[in-house]
Structures are given as C-alpha cells and as structure tokens.
Structure 1
Amino acid sequence: MVFKRLLGSFGMGGLAVDTVLDADAVLPGSALTGQVHLKGGGADFTIEHIALELVARVEVEHDDGESDGTVAFGRFGVGGDFRLAADERRGIPFSVALPWETPVTELYGHPLWIALGVRTEVSVAGARDKGDLDPFSVRPLPAQEAVLGALGQLGFGFKSADLEYGQIRGTGQELPFYQEIELTPPARYAHQVNEIEVTFLANPGGMEVVLEADKRGGLLSGGHDAVSRFAVSHSDVGQINWYAEVDGWVRQLVERRAVHGSHGWPGHGDTHHGGGAQYGRGSHSYGHGGHDHGEEQGHRSGPGMGTVIAAGAAGLAVGVVGGMVAAEVVDEVGDFFEGDDEE
C-alpha cells in the first residue's frame, strides 16, 4: 500500500501512515508481522496510540434476505506515546497473533476470494483516524489441507467460499462468523446431494470439521440438510489415511437423516452452545451419534501419502478459478479494500 495522509487538520499536510506486512501468506493461529511506517507532516505530532484491527467481509442473513457487512475479529495495540517530529520518518514493527479460526483465503496459491484486511488506527491529540485496509492472505493448516486434499481425491470440486455471520451450535466456535467452503459432489453422490459445505473451526489442539450436505429429495420426500461434526488433532495429521478417513465421513453424512436447525443465527432465537472437542488418536465424529472412524480408519499413512494429499488439494484448487464468476468476485473484494462500511 502507499502512504495515506491522515489528520490533515493537525499542522500543514498532516501525518502520513503506511502499513506494510512481511509475509505473502500466513497460517491461522500464527503471527502476522510487519511495520507501521509514519511520515511526519509540517509540524510535530504526539502519537498517542497506534492500533491494528483485523476485519473481514461477511454475509449476514436476515428474514428478508442477505446483506454484506464488515466485522472486526481482533484488535491490537502496537505502539504510541512518542513524539514524531515534522517530516520525520519512523517504522513501528509489530507482531500480532491471528485467531486460530481465521478463515483460509487461498489454496495452493489459488485465491478463494475471501476478503480479510488489517486496518491501522492512529490517535493524535485525542482524535482517531483509520487508514486504508491492507489485505492479507491465509493458507490452510496441515490438517485443513489434508481434509481438502482427501475431498479432492474423492472427486469433489470447488464451488465457492464465503464467510457467514453467526454461530454453529454445539461447537467451540469463538469468532462471530465462520467460513463455508462449498463443494460439488462426484458422480457417485450426485444423485443424493446437491453440494457439501465444509467448515473448519481450528484451535491450538486441533480442529472441528463441520460437514453439511444439501441432500436431494425423493419422490415421497423433500430435500433436507444433514450435518456431521468431527474432531481432528494437529499432531495426528501425518498418521492418518486421510482418503479413507474422509471417505468414511462423507458416507456417514450422506446416509444420515435430516438434521434441522444446525446453525444458530443471532436474532432468530438460537443461542451458541459452546462445547470443546476432545482430541485423541486419529479423528472422531461426535455430536449426533456418529460412528468413530479413528481406530478403524485412522491408521498410519503409507509412503507418499503427503504427496497424494497435496495432489488432491491442488486438484481441488483448480476449480477455484473455474468455479466462480471471477470478475464479479474481484470487484467485490476490491470494493472492500477501497471503502468499507463497518457493521
């Protein structure tokens, strides 16, 4: 980004700020590092406070439809209480911890068109001014990559990804929104489901994987949603046959009967029922009487499993480009960083 001039009423020309991030892409739960560059104006300034705010563009469901809004999901003080002389340049290094539930914005270099940004706020003489949004990219954790890679191997294709405002009941979700990655089914499931949505809720010990299927209706029944949830440990990623594991998850999901009210939406009478998953050997289903696949299918992977997972995830990522109307999505993401209205 370029310097943005702030607080023009304070001295001639005011103060200019530019936030520069170090890495091209980071992991959920890792440190986002960089520097806030300040350039003094025509007078001395006392910088009272510098803060960084993590923001995301999310979809909000209402009774009469959907709308987009900006939601903050982290705020960090990174400096302040110093004097900046006229025309002085100074860099303020920072390192802030991303939440473990930070959404994934790319898969093997292919963007998912999820809009995340860092907004810089500078306080001078009791007045606060927010600068432009600086985008940052997030790549999947190894466990997330393994699950997506297995789905790619199973023949699922990428359809879209978005951020939904609200809580998924019965999980340990902490952020006010969650990410849904929508996938199209392979031929063997196409007659049973329209699509499958994947949500990852990561934490320091592992992650919850929420799978939701939009199931097709039959001659005597309408379509419905089915939901299954599974717990995965970060430490077991390299010891699981992910193809067999995720195949078991999908089979269980497709064979399940309807589960109604799987998502709790603010303002619709639903509340968040927090519940932490237990992480042990392999991965385990829980929440709706699912079967445990951890011991049956969670055995050590054979040679080259990491390469196979990578190939599956890369194959799934190819659909990221072809599965969306790229020009429209790029415009929406661009609008987010050019000028957003905070909700």
Structure 2
Amino acid sequence: MSLFNKVLASVGIGATTVDTKLHKVNYTINENITGVVEIVGGNVEQQIDAIYLSLYTNYTREINDTKVSENALLKNLKINEPFTIQPNEKREIPFSFELPAAIPVTTGQSRVWIHTGLDIKNAVDPTDKDFIDIQPTRLASNVLSAIQNLGFRLRKVDNEQAPTYLRNRAPIVQEFEFTPTNNTYRRYLEELEVIFLDQTSKSVEILLQVDRRARGLGSFLSEAFDMDESFIRLTLFENDNISAKISQAIENKMR
C-alpha cells in the first residue's frame, strides 16, 4: 500500500499541497510583502528540496509587427532549506521581501502575482498563484495628477518590453501615455509618455518622452529619421513644485 501511495504521489495524487497566505493583497511600490507558505503533507512522506516564490507581471512585446502577450519574472526567492514532510503534517514557513521599484501598478490590463512552487524530487511539483494589487506611491500619484492638471489626458497605460538602454534595470517598463488637451501643448505635441524609473517615499525619477508634431521640412526630416521624439530624465522630490518643474522641462524641449 505504501509503494502504491508513493506511485500515486509521484503523479500528484494524494501528494503534498501548497497554499501561500498573504497578510494583505494591497501594496505600494517598495513596500515589504509578507505572509506564510502553508505546506500540508499527503499520504506519504516526501522530500521538499526547495520552496520558491516568483513575482510576475504581464506585458506585451512586438514580434514581426505583431503584439504578443508575455509574462515577465521580476523577482525570484528561495525561502527554505531541504526538509521532509510527513503524511498529513502541516508546516507554515513565513516570508518577507521588498517589492522592486520596477513593479508596475495594477491598472488597465496590468496584473501582478506571486507564483509559489515546491521542488519535490521525482514528483509533480505543486504550485500556487496569488494576485496582488499594486498602487502608486503618493508622490507618483502627485506626478500623474500634475501632468493632467497641466493639460494632458491619460489615454492608456501599458506594460511593454523594456528598451535596450533600460533592460539592465528590469525586463519591462510601464508607460503612461498622455495626449494634450489644451491649445498650448496641442500645437506642438502629439503625445507625452511617462515611465517611472526609480521611486522612494521622498523622490521619484521619471523618463518623459515628448513626441513633437512635425512642422516644416526640417521637422519632416526629423520625423522620418525618428528624431522627433525627445527624452527628458527628471528627478522630483516631495517638496518640489512638481507642475512647474515638469512644465519647464517640456517647454525646454518644445523650443
């Protein structure tokens, strides 16, 4: 009977199960996420070689002019040393780790989740999947509000594959795409894209991509050679006049 149970457990029948229990599901960037991984033994003892927590998000990337949905690994964490779990034994392993600054907020089609996996030798590895809600920091929210108050409308938010010059930071970036709504900006700009590069409780570093309207022959040539898009790297602090600083940076690129 014991041998039969071992055979069943090796294919996942009557085997060890795993359930990750988070202390909460709502977080902001750079916050610590905490919880416990609950492991319950099956009908036979099994050797648990490792428990992994993997943080994922979804994004899109272009392949031959076609957009493809992918999942990006943002963080991977091993939380235990090998151990043996007995039949019907219950164990709880606590964990805590800091969410990376590159994690996207969960708005629009953006999703973030924790995948828990047990590495069990010669057996089907049990897994668990838990979605979490990521909100922007207060300062990041102020930046987005300031841009809208300047005369821009948020058109869409996308997670996309990071460009080459940012890929050493994270595999994806989250782009907030704005369109101008007032006459001042509509005369010169097609759109404004915002990427949050780094965030703390007291500062944010952003990358603004200013897409200027083509004007005249020189501007036509610039657009043809993809030179119409200008980039602004800006660090903003909690005591800054955020609207004024962003407005000045955009206007400098419009001249």
Tell me, yes or no, whether TM beats 0.5: yes
Name the structure 1 match of 2:5: none
Give the AA of the match of 2:179. Answer: T
Name the structure 1 match of 2:174: 179
Residues 19 and 67 from structure 1, CA distance in 2 versus in 1: closer, same or farther, beyond 3 angstroms?
A: same
The equivalences for 1:210-225 within 5 A come to 210-218=207-215, 220=217, 221-222=219-220, 223=223, 224-225=228-229
**What secondary structure is seen at the aligned counterpart in 2 of 1:250?**
helix
**What secondary structure is seen at the aligned counterpart in 2 of 1:226?**
strand
**What secondary structure is seen at the aligned counterpart in 2 of 1:136?**
strand
Provide the C-alpha distance between the structure 2 equivalents of 1:128 and 1:94, rounded to a whole number of angstroms: 24
Q: Is 2:186 the counterpart of 1:190?
A: yes
Percent identity over paired residues: 28
- CA-to-partner distance for each residue in 1:310-331, whole Å, 9 max, x for gaps? xxxxxxxxxxxxxxxxxxxxxx
Give the AA of the match of 1:89. Answer: K
Q: Is the 8 A contact 1:173 1:201 kept in 2?
A: no
Structure holding more strand per residue: 2
Q: Is the 8 A contact 1:167 1:173 kept in 2?
A: no
With normalisation by structure 1, the TM-score equals: 0.62
Name the structure 1 match of 2:245: 245
4+ residue stretches of structure 1 with deviation over 4 A?
203-206
**Unmatched tracts of structure 2, length 5 or more:** 1-7
Provide the C-alpha distance between the structure 2 equivalents of 1:126 and 1:29, rounded to a whole number of angstroms: 37
The equivalences for 1:61-140 within 5 A come to 61-105=62-106, 111-125=107-121, 127=123, 129=125, 131-140=127-136
Name the structure 2 match of 1:333: none
Name the structure 2 match of 1:26: 27
Q: Is the 8 A contact 1:11 1:43 kept in 2?
A: no
- What is the Cα deviation at residue 176 of structure 1? 1.9
- What is the Cα deviation at residue 130 of structure 1? 5.8
- What is the Cα deviation at residue 101 of structure 1? 1.8
- What is the Cα deviation at residue 132 of structure 1? 4.1
- CA-to-partner distance for each residue in 1:92-151, whole Å, 9 max, x for gaps? 22111221222222xxxxx33312211111011255626243211221123312211211
Aligned length: 239
The equivalences for 1:221-240 within 5 A come to 221-222=219-220, 223=223, 224-232=228-236, 236-237=237-238, 239-240=239-240
Provide the C-alpha distance between the structure 2 equivalents of 1:98 and 1:124, rounded to a whole number of angstroms: 27
**Unmatched tracts of structure 1, length 5 or more:** 1-6, 106-110, 257-343
